[in-house]
Amino acid sequence: MKIAVAGTGYVGLVTGVCLAEHGHLVTCVDVDEKKVELMKKGVSPIYEEGLPELMVKNMERLTFTTDYASAYRDAEVIFIGVGTPEKVDGSANLKYVYTVAKQIAQSVEKDCVVVVKSTVPIGTNDKVEDFIRSNLVHSVNIDVASNPEFLAQGTAVRDTLHASRIVIGAGNNRCRETLEKVYKTFDSPKLITDRRSAEMIKYASNDFLALKISYINEIANFCETIGANIEDVAAGMGFDSRIGNKFLKAGIGYGGSCFPKDTKALHWLGNYYDQEFKTIKAAIEVNDNQKLKLLKKARQYYPSLEGLQVAVLGLAFKPGTNDLREAPSIVNVGILLDDGASIRAYDPVAAKAFDALYPGKLTYCDQAKEALNGADLCFIFTEWDEVRALTPEDFCSRMKTPIILDGRNCYSVESFEARKVVYDSIGRKTVNTLF
C-alpha cells in the first residue's frame, strides 16, 4: 500500500520503517531538512537498536522528504506520528497534530484514511476528522482512525514488528478494513474498537504502568524503613499472574517522553471533566519525590555537598537510548551543581545531549570506571550494562570515599558486605562499614 508518515521521531520513523519491512511503500515526512538528508543516506537520526539496519534493508521502499504535499497527495493511508508535548498546565499540546491535519486537508487528491498514532486526548480523533473535512481543498473522502502505539524506546523495532497488540479505533468499516489491510501480515493480536476507546486504551495503559512503578517505589521506600528487601518482595508478588512480574523494578523514578507527560495529560483531562484521577495524581507525586531520593540519602553522609567530587553513572532516562527527557539525572545534577559539587559523569550515548543542558559544567568520561576516580560520592541513575559491569573493587580502589548511591539496584548488596564502603540502594539493606 502507498503510505505516508508525518513525523520522524521515535513513533513516526519506527512505524514507517516497520511498515516498509512489511512490504508497504512508505514516504516519511519531516520539517527538518537536515534530518531528512541524513535519513535519505540511510542514517537514523535517533539512537535505536536495530533501526539503522532495518532502514538500510528497506531503502527501496522508503522515501524521505520535507515536501508533504507530494507525500500526501495520492497516499492510501497517512499516519500522523508527531509529538504531543506537555503544556505548562499539564495538558497535551496538539499544535503539531493540527499543523499536519491542515497540510493533509490542503494536499490530498484521493480518498484516504488518516491514522492518528500520536498520543492524543480522548475525543481528538473526532475533532481532527471534522477539521480535515472542513478544510479539504479537493472533493475527496477522508476518514480518521486511531491506532495508538505501544513501543518503548530501546526496543521500539521489536515492539512494533511484534507488538503486544494492535489497537484499531475506527468509526466505520472502510477505516477498519483499510487498517486491517495495513497490518495484515503482522503477527500481533488485533483489537478493533471505536476511536474514543482506542485513545483511552493508550492513556490507560501508560498511566497504569506509571502507577505500577510508583506503587513499587513506595513499597521499596517502606521496605527500607522496616528492613525488608524490595527485590524479594517484587519477586514474590510477580509469581501471581494477576499482578505480573514486569514493571516492578524499584528505582529512582520513571522518566522519558511518555509516562511523565501522559500521566499529567490524563490527570488534566479528568479535571477538565470534573472527575479527578486520584490514583494518577498519587503516581505523579510519588515519582516527583522519588527522583530526589538519592540526594536525601547523600545528605545523610555529607550535610553539605559543597566542594565534593561526585561521580554520576548514567544520564539517559533508561538504558538503550540517548533520550534525556524527564531523566532523573537532570534535576539531580542541577541540584548538585547548585550545591557546589563538581561532577565527573559517564553515559555511553547521552553525554553530548547532556552537555547541551549544562554546557561545560560537567567532565565526561569515556569509561564508567574513570568517572569514579577521586570521587567522594557516586550516584547511579541509569543501569547501562557498562555500569552494571563495575565491581566493588572498581568503586573501592578508585573513589576517595566509596559512598555509592545506587538508584537502579545494579549490584547485589552482599557483594559489598566485605568492603569498607557505603552501598545504599533502593528498598534494600544499606551496607555501611565506613561510619
Q: Annotated catalytic sites, by residue?
A: 258
Residue ranges in 118-137 that form contacts with ligand UGA under rule CB under 6 A: 119
Cell output for 151: 513501543
CA max distance for the chain: 78
Comparison of 7 and 255: residue with beta carbon closer to ligand UGA? 255
> 3-26 burial string, b = 16+ CB within 10 Å, else e?
bbbbbbbbbbbbbbbbbbbbebbb
Question: Residue positions in the annotated binding site for NAD(+)?
Answer: 30, 35, 84, 119, 261, 325
> 232-242 burial string, b = 16+ CB within 10 Å, else e?
ebbeebeeeee
Question: Residue positions in the annotated binding site?
Answer: 30, 35, 84, 119, 202, 247-251, 255, 261, 318, 325
Cell output for 368: 564508567
By CB under 6 A, tell whether 161 contacts ligand UGA.
Answer: no
Q: CB of 428: closest distance to ligand UGA in angstroms?
A: 15
For ligand UGA, which residue of 1, 56, 152, 292 counts as binding (CB under 6 A)?
152
Q: CB of 200: closest distance to ligand UGA in angstroms?
A: 14
Comparison of 78 and 248: residue with beta carbon closer to ligand UGA? 248
Alpha-carbon distance 280 to 107, whole Å? 40
Alpha-carbon distance 199 to 117, whole Å? 9
For ligand UGA, which residue of 209, 365, 403, 404 counts as binding (CB under 6 A)?
209
Comparison of 12 and 255: residue with beta carbon closer to ligand UGA? 255
Sorted by sequence, the CB contacts under 8 Å of residue 177 that are 6+ apart come out as: none
Q: CB of 103: closest distance to ligand UGA in angstroms?
A: 23
92 and 265 in contact (C-beta within 8 Å)?
yes
For ligand UGA, which residue of 247, 351, 373, 396 counts as binding (CB under 6 A)?
247
Segment near ligand UGA (CB under 6 A), from 17-25, 34-42, 93-101, 249-257?
249-257
Comparison of 150 and 302: residue with beta carbon closer to ligand UGA? 150
396 and 373 in contact (C-beta within 8 Å)?
no
By CB under 6 A, tell whether 198 contacts ligand UGA.
Answer: no
For ligand UGA, which residue of 153, 322, 332, 425 counts as binding (CB under 6 A)?
153
What letter does residue 375 receive in the DSSP assignment? Answer: -
Segment near ligand UGA (CB under 6 A), from 81-89, 98-106, 147-155, 419-427?
147-155
Q: CB of 246: closest distance to ligand UGA in angstroms?
A: 7
For ligand UGA, which residue of 21, 149, 406, 424 counts as binding (CB under 6 A)?
149
> 340-366 burial string, b = 16+ CB within 10 Å, else e?
ebebbbbbbebbebbeeeeeeebebbe
Residue ranges in 306-365 that form contacts with ligand UGA under rule CB under 6 A: 317-318
By CB under 6 A, tell whether 249 contacts ligand UGA.
Answer: yes
> 106-119 burial string, b = 16+ CB within 10 Å, else e?
ebbeeebbbbbbbb
| Closest by Cα among 159, 254, 244, 246 to 210 | 254
342 and 367 in contact (C-beta within 8 Å)?
no
Cell 518482595, located at residue: 233
Alpha-carbon distance 419 to 67, whole Å? 62
Comparison of 249 and 344: residue with beta carbon closer to ligand UGA? 249
Q: CB of 420: closest distance to ligand UGA in angstroms?
A: 30
Comparison of 402 and 427: residue with beta carbon closer to ligand UGA? 427
Q: What is the size of the binding site for ligand UGA (CB under 6 A)?
A: 20
Comparison of 249 and 297: residue with beta carbon closer to ligand UGA? 249
Which parts of this chain interact with ligand UGA (CB under 6 A)? Answer: 119, 149-153, 206, 209, 213, 247-249, 251, 254-256, 258-259, 317-318
